[in-house]
Structure 1
Amino acid sequence: MTAVNALIAGLSENSVRIVDLTTPLSASTPTLKLPEPFVNLIDFSLDKVAEYDAPGPFWKHHNIHTGEHVGTHLDAPVHWISGKGGHDVASIPPERLIGPAAVLDIRAQVEQDPDFLLEIDDIRAWESEHGPLPKNGWLLLRTGWDRFSQDQEAFLNADETGSHTPGISAEAALWLAEETSLSGIGVETVGIDAGRGAELDPPFPVHYHLLGNDKYGITSLQNLDKLPVVGAMLVVAPLPIVEGTASPSRVYALIQTH
């Protein structure tokens, strides 16, 4: 049996299950809010064109209005100045969008400190127990933040000092970018950097280092609690937007059930 036939058989026999990791996209989906003088993207909305009526008697359809970086989305290298000249969303090789997932659980640390930053030692401790990060794989940070995914205020967790959400330190971001063969990282928060990532050196180091090294980022993931620590296969499906810096994406994991 070929590998593809084995996968088809596994799906048919329910020994392989698909877990949807995507946050549903609607006008109420929490989005990033940049401080002045920076300009924000528009939120997602639908504009009804026809609904089984005179403009379209047999159909219903909409125009969609959205920024690229809204909801569960994939960041492409061209999004950041360090990746200028790199891949846009449409040119990311498809084989980089499918690969093994490694789930690193930092819920306990985040519960104590919403500004928690993952360090290199945390990753090495995970590797000592579970093996090296997978080639062409995805490191997924399980923080528990997805429980806030339908609450704009809680999701951004902002006060007068800025947003307080967990992420990755500058040192760990550089290490992941240059010392691993990952395709990218995935997070449950609104962006791939911590809420206070602007205060690090360089500012927003995950964007700077990973996108500058042809690695990618996925945001606003759900259901990481349904995945094994290792052994799942991630499938990332962005729209192939020419010159796109990001795209809302459907993200799936395939897991072995028995």
Structure 2
Amino acid sequence: MPVLADLVTALRTGGVEVVDLTAPLSASTPVLQLPPPFANTASFQLTEISRYDDRGPRWYWNDIHTGEHVGTHVDAPVHWLSGKDGPSVDRIPLRTLIGPAAVLDASDRVADDPDFLLGIDDVRRWERDHGPLPEGGWLLYRTGWDARSGDQADFLNAGDGVSHTPGVSPECAQWLAEEAPIAGFGVETVGTDAGRAAELDPIFPCHDRLLGAGKCGLTQLRNLAQLPPAGALLVVSPLPIVGGSGSPARVYAFVERS
């Protein structure tokens, strides 16, 4: 197809740039910490099997040990009670995982208030400036939080037993779930909800409303500052874990450059 040939040419000549939005996955990757009595996921671990030695003279390989929701990862609808009858990560339609990206920048608001909650008016303001949210696309919520991702304590930003990270108001979460044409919602923080989301009604409204509506979540993104507010094409590549509630993912965007 000419469209694909044009894309290959643009990638080769620099007319289209590929921007990596994925956090590196290692033992130091920040991981969500739930308070007792709730169970927590394992951190990422790499265990060497052989490395050009007597265990395997010509090859190097490892076992990996990790949770589904570690690092940059996808939340499938089945991850939450409200979406328990929805698709697991291996059943997410491929058309959902490739789509146009809208990037809403609230980093200036978050700099003054780490507990900032995105509201419907904030999304409406973006639409007035850039047009409607993309049909079947993704809304990516830029907060500047990726600057903290090298350190778990700074990234989780917990004080008095409560994590202070930005999120979405219950009203906005419901609006994104029921009225916005998007297929998914992505953030730079450890989860799609605010650190104080357990205090909201409903609790964890992004998880409850969006996953309950069959939409997907995407977390721990980086480099959203390199994307335009509109016009990028997002590619999300989770592992097709059969029956999985989510998966670490490689996420990148195609961006046109003049």
Q: Which position in structure 1 is the counterpart of 2:109?
A: 109
| 1:56 paired residue number | 56
Query: Which structure 2 residues correspond to residues 17-36 of structure 1 after superposition, within 5 A?
Result: 17-36=17-36
Shift of 1:2: 2.0
Provide Cα deviations, 1:210-239, integer angstroms capped at 9, x if missing partner. 001111111000001111111100000000
Question: Which aligned pairs between 1:141-160 and structure 2 lie closer than 5 A?
Answer: 141-160=141-160
Q: Give % identity.
A: 60
Q: What amino acid is the match of 1:245? A: S
Distance 1:250 1:204 in 2: 25
Q: SS of the residue aligned with 1:248?
A: strand
Partner in structure 2 of residue 223 of structure 1: 223
What TM-score does the superposition give when structure 2 sets the normalisation length?
A: 0.99
Q: How does 1:59-208 map to 2 (within 5 A)?
A: 59-208=59-208
Q: Which string of whole-angstrom CA distances, capped at 9 and with x for unpartnered residues, describes residues 62-119 of structure 1?
A: 1100011000000000000000021101000101100111110101110111000000
Instruction: Give the alignment's Cα RMSD to 1 decimal.
Output: 0.8
- Aligned to 1:230, what secondary structure does the other structure show? coil
Q: Which runs of 4+ in 1 moved over 2 A?
A: none
Q: Which amino acid aligns with 1:162?
A: V
Amino acid at match of 1:122: D
State the number of aligned residues. 258
SS in 2 for 1:17: strand
TM-score (norm 1): 0.99
| 1:14 positional shift | 1.2
CA distance in 1, matches of 2:35, 2:63: 29
Tell me what 2:47 maps to: 47
AA at the equivalent of 1:83: G
Deviations 1:187-211 (A, max 9, x none): 0000000000111111100000000
User: 2-side partners of 1:102 and 1:12: how far apart?
Assistant: 25
Gap runs ≥5 in structure 1:
none
Aligned-partner SS, 2:59: strand
CA distance in 2 between counterparts of 1:31 and 1:87 reads: 24
* Uncovered stretches (5+) of structure 2, i.e. residues with no partner: none
